[in-house]
Amino acid sequence: MEILNVTYKCKSGMREEFLETIKAEGLDEASRSEAGNIKYGFYFAEADPDELFLYEKWRDEEAVKSHNTEPHFKRFGELKAKYVNETVLERYSK
């Protein structure tokens, strides 16, 4: 099992618009529907109004690699360029 904790440090005041755009384009649902996805959820950080946290849980490394080749993953990267200043990724294997 692969667990990814991703913290997006959004541009000032852009967190909600970033998440709304992700949902409007169905990028979150597309990731959830992939083979090997167990959990994919976004959460707001209480301490920082510009942080968005993403928790991902995948069956195995192959599922993560497959996810990284999907068109919606590429689109997500394009949105990050518009809305995010910094991405912090923590990865755990079980």
- Please enumerate in sequence order all residues whose Cβ is within 8 A of that of 17, keeping only pairs 6 or more positions apart, or say none: 83
The residue type of 24 is A
Tell me the whole-structure pTM to 2 decimals: 0.95
- Please enumerate in sequence order all residues whose Cβ is within 8 A of that of 10, keeping only pairs 6 or more positions apart, or say none: 18, 50, 51, 52, 83, 84, 85
pLDDT in tens, 42-70: 999 889 999 999 999 999 999 999 999 99
Residue 75 has pLDDT above 90, yes or no: yes
pLDDT at 45: 86
Residue 92 has pLDDT above 90, yes or no: yes
Give 17's pLDDT tier (boundaries 50, 70, 90).
Answer: very high
Fold of 2-93: Alpha-Beta Plaits (3.30.70)
